[in-house]
Chains A and B, each alone.
Chain A
Amino acid sequence: MGIFADTRRYVAEAWQAWSRFWFAPKDPATLSLIRLLAGSLLFYTHLVWSLDLQAFLGPDGWLPVDYLRTIHTLPGDQQAQWSVWSLFFLIKPPWLLWCVHVFALLVFLCLMLGLFSRAMATLAFLLAVSYAHRVSPGAFFGLEKINCMLAMYLMLGPCGARYSLDSLRRLRRGITDPVRPSTSANVAIRLTQVHLCIIYLFSGLAKQMGENWQAGTAVWWALANSEYQSLDMTWIASWPKFGPVLVALLTHATLFWEMYYCCLVWNRFTRPLVLWMAVGVHVGIALCMGMITFGLAMLYANLAFINPTTVRRWVDPLAGWVAANFVAPIANK
């Protein structure tokens, strides 16, 4: 009797905790902030393709579609995998390529501004995956992975509830109800959080296999790579005693942080430390190794762990100032 009752109680409490974790309504402020920032990043990173659109995304270019599809074919198969899809596999004339590209940029811009946010988030995800598959392999790197992840989870929740033109449109229509907490906003944020934990865990596990990460020298080899280098940090080598220790500390701290991020980020006492470490690591990579867009993408994903109340405290005054000084004068004209 006792064991059954205890088990039943355990299951009920576990279900309750699970339900609250995933389905408790949350203010969509965090999701809205991620939309604003991730939308701007999607817009910029895809705008850069315009500088050599035909070469990277055209039917020929560096890697012709016909050749790329042979790489997408599994051993023993005759045809490329159907599930590796992209609009750009179908587009032939340059004018159509440019039309789709301009349309995509408008979608990313609308997502950033928060105009028809939910629909734009869905389109942004489909378009981002289209670009990513066209350049994978070839010119892709971690940025595509994070861009697509952010766009995917944005479309699940009311990402335009705050800091958006959608919210101003609601006000103009006379809808002054406060933004209500949303279950789907919580689902979207939770998925981003758990996905981010998986990313850091496997990134850490992969590094753990490396001898230089174990030995504490990996950061040096990253800094000494002149193709990546955007800020010369090799002066560390001129400190024969202190330099190796600093490099080793940075290497071990990075590895430890990545491997245990998935545990420490859930505790409210260790979370600020973990998130500030994320800022340090990604800003460091952005400044020293020139991967600014990738660093920003990772930092925007980390915002999922910022409480909506905190987001509102930080962003609401700025959003109010922008609305009063830039949007209202235009709207009143």
Chain B
Amino acid sequence: MAKKRQEQSSDEPPPLKTARKKKPTTQRAASDLPWHPFWRWIVSLIVVLHLTAVLSAPWDLATLDALPPGYAPPSDANGRPQPLPPPESVVWQDPVVTRGLHRFFHDYLNLLYLNHGYEFFAPDPAGTHVIDYQVTQADGNVAEGRLPSHDGQWPRLLYHRHMMLAEQTQLMGPQSGQQYANHLATVYGGPSKMQLKMHFLLPPHRVADNTPLDAPSTYQVIGTVAGHPRVSAHTSRNIPSSEAPVSIPGAQP
């Protein structure tokens, strides 16, 4: 019934006089709803705040600080352009609304596990990271493996979790690789050695030439980490400097 009334009013925009006659009908339709208007106002406010919060996280992550239009970096005495100004420089223009909203809702978003973007395969599908490891066990045997691997990492979701472990070293930095190496060393009971590799993707013409997607040439080592068994749960972070990651080229401390 209410739907019919809505359709009629949208199909035939009435002149003002007709509209005035319809006003009581509108009020009656709204009062058909079960919740008292006061509660509808309260819930509406909560809904708007919640959806603004939901929007604020991906919106903020999608926006970048910008340089003014036509900005040219200063050049040195020889005319060579200098690098871009540091992030704290006033030259950068902050997206104040998105940053402000995100800051305001930050804890609410965390509490509900909403503090993230939705950048699935974005901005571009990229190559993946894999981790190859070797652990020398107490009896001298060497355990080898890869993250992710179809050997033993089954079902597919478990395989995917291991793939994320390798992938998200890029989010967390080199210390995460150290933690993985220490975990493997603890599990197998001996010193471990781990290589983080980038697996590059092949363009269509290489695949058409029968180059396998996992050809050895598609992997590049980007870091090596040595791990040792953890003594206890609370000493794992205090790794002596001699046992720190061997080398992770390009990685920031």
Which of A10-18, A266-274, A304-312 binds B? Answer: A10-18
Q: How far is the CB of B50 from chain A (nearest CB, A)?
A: 7
Asked if A176 is at the interface of the complex by the 8 Å CB criterion, the answer is: no
Number of interface residues of A (CB under 8 A): 97
Q: How far is the CB of A332 from chain B (nearest CB, A)?
A: 36
Asked if A36 is at the interface of the complex by the 8 Å CB criterion, the answer is: no
Q: How far is the CB of A245 from chain B (nearest CB, A)?
A: 12
Is A66 touching B234 in the complex (CB atoms < 8 A)?
yes
Which of A99-107, A157-165, A287-295, A313-321 binds B? Answer: A287-295
Is A222 touching B237 in the complex (CB atoms < 8 A)?
no
Asked if B93 is at the interface of the complex by the 8 Å CB criterion, the answer is: no
Is B237 touching A236 in the complex (CB atoms < 8 A)?
no
Is B213 touching A52 in the complex (CB atoms < 8 A)?
no
Per the bound structure, the CA–CA distance linking A140 and B127 in Å amounts to: 18
Within 8 A of A (CB), among B140-186: 148, 155-165, 168, 171-172, 175-176, 179-180, 183, 186
Asked if B34 is at the interface of the complex by the 8 Å CB criterion, the answer is: yes
Asked if A220 is at the interface of the complex by the 8 Å CB criterion, the answer is: yes
Is B47 touching A22 in the complex (CB atoms < 8 A)?
yes
From B2, B29, B111, B233, A85 is in contact (CB under 8 Å) with B111
Asked if A148 is at the interface of the complex by the 8 Å CB criterion, the answer is: yes
Which of A116-124, A197-205, A323-331 binds B? Answer: A197-205
Q: How far is the CB of B72 from chain A (nearest CB, A)?
A: 24
Contacts of B162 in A (CB 8 A): 139
Q: How far is the CB of A209 from chain B (nearest CB, A)?
A: 4
Q: How far is the CB of B46 from chain A (nearest CB, A)?
A: 10
Per the bound structure, the CA–CA distance linking A222 and B201 in Å amounts to: 9
Look across to chain B and name the residue whose beta carbon is closest to the beta carbon of A81.
B110
Is A16 touching B29 in the complex (CB atoms < 8 A)?
yes
From A140, A194, A202, A237, B117 is in contact (CB under 8 Å) with A202
Which of A27-35, A53-61, A166-174 binds B? Answer: A53-61
Asked if B54 is at the interface of the complex by the 8 Å CB criterion, the answer is: yes
From B35, B122, B236, A213 is in contact (CB under 8 Å) with B122
Look across to chain A and name the residue whose beta carbon is closest to the beta carbon of B186.
A60
Asked if A207 is at the interface of the complex by the 8 Å CB criterion, the answer is: yes
Asked if B128 is at the interface of the complex by the 8 Å CB criterion, the answer is: yes
Per the bound structure, the CA–CA distance linking A75 and B104 in Å amounts to: 17
From B20, B50, B172, A137 is in contact (CB under 8 Å) with B172
Asked if A195 is at the interface of the complex by the 8 Å CB criterion, the answer is: yes
Is A139 touching B233 in the complex (CB atoms < 8 A)?
no
Of residues A81, A92, A129, A226, which shows the largest number of chain B Cβ atoms within 10 Å of its Cβ? A226
Asked if B30 is at the interface of the complex by the 8 Å CB criterion, the answer is: yes
From B44, B119, B180, B201, A221 is in contact (CB under 8 Å) with B201
From B114, B118, B230, A142 is in contact (CB under 8 Å) with B118
From A48, A67, A227, B179 is in contact (CB under 8 Å) with A67
Asked if B65 is at the interface of the complex by the 8 Å CB criterion, the answer is: no
Is B58 touching A290 in the complex (CB atoms < 8 A)?
no
From A2, A15, A207, B123 is in contact (CB under 8 Å) with A207
Contacts of A202 in B (CB 8 A): 58-59, 61-62, 117-119
Within 8 A of A (CB), among B105-127: 106-108, 110-114, 116-127
Per the bound structure, the CA–CA distance linking A138 and B165 in Å amounts to: 5
Per the bound structure, the CA–CA distance linking A293 and B106 in Å amounts to: 28
From B51, B187, B236, A194 is in contact (CB under 8 Å) with B51
Asked if A183 is at the interface of the complex by the 8 Å CB criterion, the answer is: yes
Asked if A73 is at the interface of the complex by the 8 Å CB criterion, the answer is: no
Look across to chain B and name the residue whose beta carbon is closest to the beta carbon of A247.
B204
Of residues B20, B29, B233, which shows the largest number of chain A Cβ atoms within 10 Å of its Cβ? B233
Contacts A16-B29, A187-B43, A202-B62 given; does A129 touch B112 at CB 8 Å = yes
Per the bound structure, the CA–CA distance linking A244 and B128 in Å amounts to: 23
Asked if A238 is at the interface of the complex by the 8 Å CB criterion, the answer is: yes
Quick one: CB contact mask for A196-232 with B, threshold 8 Å, 1 for yes? 0011101101110111110000101110111111100
Contacts of A137 in B (CB 8 A): 168, 171-172, 176
Is B199 touching A144 in the complex (CB atoms < 8 A)?
no
Within 8 A of A (CB), among B54-72: 54-55, 58-59, 61-62
Contacts of A206 in B (CB 8 A): 62, 117-120, 122-123
Is B164 touching A218 in the complex (CB atoms < 8 A)?
no
List 12 contacting pairs A-B, 8 Å CB cutoff, sorted by A. A25-B33, A83-B106, A83-B110, A133-B113, A137-B176, A142-B120, A199-B58, A202-B58, A202-B118, A202-B119, A206-B122, A224-B207
Q: Which 3 A-B pairs have the closest CB atoms?
A: A210-B123, A206-B122, A83-B110
Chain B residues with a Cβ under 8 A of chain A: 2, 6, 9, 16, 19-20, 23, 26-27, 29-30, 33-35, 40, 43-44, 47, 50-51, 54-55, 58-59, 61-62, 106-108, 110-114, 116-128, 130, 148, 155-165, 168, 171-172, 175-176, 179-180, 183, 186-187, 199, 201-205, 207-208, 213-214, 230, 233-234, 236-237
